[in-house]
Structure 1
Amino acid sequence: MKRIAIIGGGIAGLTAAYELSCLASKGAAVEAVLFEASPRLGGIVETVREGGFVIECGPDAWVTEKPWARELAEQLGLGDEIISSNDATRKTYVLMDGLLQAMPDGMRMMVPANLHALDQSELFSPEAKQDFHAEISRATELKASAPQHDESVAAFVRRHFGDEVLDTIGAPLLRGVFGGDVTQLSVRAVMAPFVAMEREHGSLIAAMQANSTASKSRQAAIFTTLQSGLGTLVDRMVATIPKDWLRLGTTIRALSHEHDGWKVETSSTQEHFDVILMAAPVHIARELMQSIDTRAAQLIAMDASSAVVVAFGFPDATGFSTPPGFGFLVPEGSGSRLLACTFVDQKFANRVPPNGKLIRAFFGADAAERLIRCGNDEVSSVARLELAHILGPLPEPQVTVVRRWPKSLPQYAVGHLERMKELDEHIRNLNGLYLLGNGYRGVGLPDLIRDARAAAQQLV
């Protein structure tokens, strides 16, 4: 019987435990113990259901084009729960000079496929629009001058479109996903499809137009989720895992590599395992690895930003309207502490009671670090004040949910892929250790699910 320790009960660790339990039920000679320091499983995936509101405390969806989350949901019997975002009315705004300006139709990140829509937009100055148009004519130059080494997202976007585009939408979009500093983030790690576009076409706009023409017949909604919330994914997996595999409220004190396997120490026990699936947050993984392989621990070391989410559910929003669309982004220097806001009931169906409205405010970087230390009442007051400055006076919410996610978004800094390649070599030499989670090969739910299931299957 192969004994496997899973350290960390977020989506990656939980998915690995689920996959191993499925394999064990089919006769595989494996048993696992999942160690989770907190009293609940799922990590930042959590759904609150109250008063007819379905409130996501962390991610609210997965990217549709990545199939692994959908495959897992279907395997768990949740096929009927799968719903798509309301893309027919999709619109995203950017806060500019205190006003919400809509991003042009046809944008993918900061790249427009529809230059006519771009020209009609009030989001960009005439000079920025000219930079967009000029990017197509610079295709040969951009392709020839593309660096052979990694670079920052900021440098990449500036080369194609200039500073205004970077500051207006490039940085806010990336901050919304990674919570990071675009002057530090690795373009090859976080924008790999765009790097590939540059290599093939030079011009990102030309690449987008070619891809848009080729894919018009198979367009799907950008986001997918579950009608009852992503927490249902967690609940279904937990229900299938043997109860004696789960150790909640248990912190790992030390990890050591022995000739015949691994020793895991908690405050009350020492246990031996054949394999370790390390699915803890990167700062905890680094601490546990320090005594095992100092170079691997150095390679795991990376900055991680925090996030604070505040959701407000309004039971009667007849006197409170939001612009049509999914929400807005807030560039740095705009005078607001917000990072972004989602109009949840407009992004997905069946999230609110009749006449209700649900919005989520996001704080990141320095604002999140400060708010994490505040009480819930103070955090919600700050969020309401910031939202009111942009949307106008808010009615009294029926439901308020505050969540703090410290160090939840690892920063893939320039050179990340090279560091991960070296890290993989070190880990291979430590027989029976696997690294899972959002610090290595992607931050989205599908990436975490793909890696966790693959690791479990490889063990068996």
Structure 2
Amino acid sequence: MKRIAILGGGTAGVAAAYFLAQSGAEHDVTLFEASPRLGGIVETVREGGFVIEGGPDGWVTEKPWALTLAQELGLGDEVIQSLDDTRKTYIYLDGRLEAMPNGMRMMVPGDLQAVEASALFSSEAKKAFLDEPARADALKAAAPDDDESVASFVARHFGPEVLTKIAAPLLSGVFGGDVNTLSVRAVMPAFVAMEREYGSLVTAVQAKAKGTQRPIFTTLRSGVGTLVEAMAAKIPLRWIRRNEPVKRLKRTGEGWLVDGRPFDDVLLATPVDVAAHLLEPTDHRAYELMQMEASSAVVVGFCFQENFDLPQGFGFLVPPGQGSLLMAATFMDQKFPGRIPSGGRLVRAFFGGASALRLMRCGNDEIASIARMELARILGPLPTPTITVVRRWPNSLPQYAVGHLGRMAELESRVQTIGNLWLLGNGYRGVGLPDLIRDARKAAQELSA
């Protein structure tokens, strides 16, 4: 019987334990989690008819692995999708909210007529969009052989205005990162593939839009936390060790010592900085490859019993330099159904980067007050919330810097050389819930083979 240690009880660690429990193989598993609860940044608060997400509010529909897991867990009836018929995303610019044109896939328009009618872009930016398809051959020829930053990639296609107004706030909302350092091959691989095939991103998006359109986001009616709760319910209780941070990891001839306890295999599912520290005595080069910047986030959910007018759509993004601490806000009851009781409203404020670091030092009441003030500056006066949820997520968003894929390939080679070791989590092969679930399933399958 294999003795398996899982270090970290976030989504990746819980998923790995769940898949091992379901494998049918005989395993002796211990899941170590430093905090009192499982799930990491995935947490759903359910109160007064509101469904309030403390972390991610769903996942990207086109990645199938989270949906497949939900169905396996018997949660098929819980699956709901985003209200895309009324989807709009706004950009806060020069003191006003301007809607992104319909048909945008991130910073790439599928409808050039909507771009021409938009008040969001200058005539120069509109011309850059309109001219991009005719530059297809030149763009394909100019594509670098090596990795490049998101900023370089977007600027080549559409120029600096589109980079600043659209790409920077969109990518910051997902990765909390700087487009000047983020790797385009790691964070936008689909667009890199489009450039290789079509040259023009506009032409590629238009071609792909001709197929069946699916809602962009998927979640669970009772919240994303239900996914973790359902997995945890199927993990043997004797496997789970809460409030037990691991301090030492040592490779032996036969396996591993985890704080002096022997195991055959280790799944490292801690945050990447913790994993790097634990691995340093075993392989310093692996430690070096795991060094990466990570940004922090603060999320504040406001539940209102009183209905009030909001712009139609999913929410807004704030580009750098607009004089707001906010990075984004989501109108949750307009993004997904079933988030609120009748007549209510649910708005989430999101802070990242330097703003998040400043707020981390504040108490919950002060954070909530600042968030309400920032929202009111943009949306107008707000009623008093009946429920407020504040969550801090320090160093929760690893930055996939230029060259990330190459570093991860070298890291994976070293991990295989070390042996009996798997790295799981959002620091390596994707930050979304589906990515974490995919990798956890693969590791469990390899251990159970």
TM-score (norm 1): 0.97
In structure 1, the gaps of 5 or more residues are none
CA–CA separation in structure 2 for the residues paired with 1:418 and 1:411: 14
Counterpart-to-counterpart distance in 2, 1:226 and 1:445: 13
SS of the residue corresponding to residue 253 of structure 1 reads coil
Residue aligning to 2:8: 8
* 1:274-423 map, 5 Å: 274-317=264-307, 320-423=308-411
Q: Which amino acid aligns with 1:105?
A: N
Deviations along 1:131-172, whole A, 9 cap, x unmatched? 111111111100111100000000000000000000001100
Counterpart CA distance in 2 for 1:196 and 1:238 is 37
Q: 1:248 corresponds to which letter in structure 2?
A: R
Question: 3-state SS of the aligned residue for 2:392?
Answer: strand
Q: Deviations over 1:398-443 (max 9, x none)?
A: 0000000000000000000000010011000011000000000000
Greater than 2 Å deviation, 4+ residue runs: none
Partner of residue 227, structure 2: 233
The residue type equivalent to 2:3 in the other structure is R
Q: Within 2, Cα distance between the matches of 1:419 and 1:131?
A: 34
User: Which residue identity is paired with 1:289?
Assistant: L
1:42 to 39, 42, 47: 39
Deviation of 1:189 (Å): 0.2
Q: Secondary structure at the match of 2:155?
A: helix
Aligned to 2:187, which of 172, 182, 190?
Answer: 190
Looking at structure 2, the residues matched to 449 and 63 of structure 1 have their Cα atoms a distance apart, in angstroms, of 13
Partner amino acid, structure 1, of 2:304: F
The residue type equivalent to 1:180 in the other structure is G
Equivalent of residue 118 in structure 1, options 104, 110, 115: 115
Contact 1:20 1:31 in 2 (8 A): no
Give the distance between the partners of 1:307 and 1:121, measured in 2 at CA.
31
1:141 to 138, 141, 146: 138
Question: For the residues of structure 2 that align with 1:74 and 1:68, how far apart are their CA atoms?
Answer: 10
Q: What secondary structure does 1:414 align onto?
A: coil
Counterpart of 1:343, as a letter, is F
Give the alignment of 1:424-443 within 5 angstroms: 424-443=412-431
CA distance in 2, matches of 1:388, 1:316: 15
Percent sequence identity is: 63
Compute the TM-score of the two structures, normalised by the length of structure 2.
Answer: 0.99
Give the Cα–Cα distance (whole angstroms) in 2 for the partners of residues 221 and 44 of structure 1: 24
Q: 1:322: how far off?
A: 0.6
Which residue of structure 2 lines up, in the alignment, with residue 151 of structure 1? 148
The offset of 1:210, in angstroms, is 1.2
Q: Distance in 2 between matches of 1:134 and 1:229?
A: 43
Distance 2:70 2:48 in 1: 25
Q: What is the CA–CA distance in structure 2 between the aligned matches of 1:14 and 1:36, rounded to whole Å?
A: 10
Letter matched to residue 217 of structure 2: F
Superposition CA RMSD, Å: 0.6
Match of 1:263 in 2: 257
**Residue among 201, 213, 237 paired with 1:219:** 213
Is residue 458 from structure 1 mapped to residue 446 from structure 2 by the alignment? yes
Structure 1 residue 121: Cα displacement = 0.5
Give the match's secondary structure for 1:252.
coil
Q: What is the total number of aligned residue pairs between the two structures?
A: 448
Q: Distance in 1 between the 2:309 and 2:279 partners?
A: 51
Paired residue type of 2:265: V
From 27, 30, 38, the equivalent of 1:30 is 27
2:263 maps to: 273
Aligned residue type for 1:285: A
Alpha-carbon offset, residue 209 of structure 1: 1.1
What secondary structure does 2:393 align onto? strand
1:85 Cα offset (Å) = 0.4
CA displacement 1:330-361 (0-9 Å, x = unmatched): 00000101000000000011111110000000
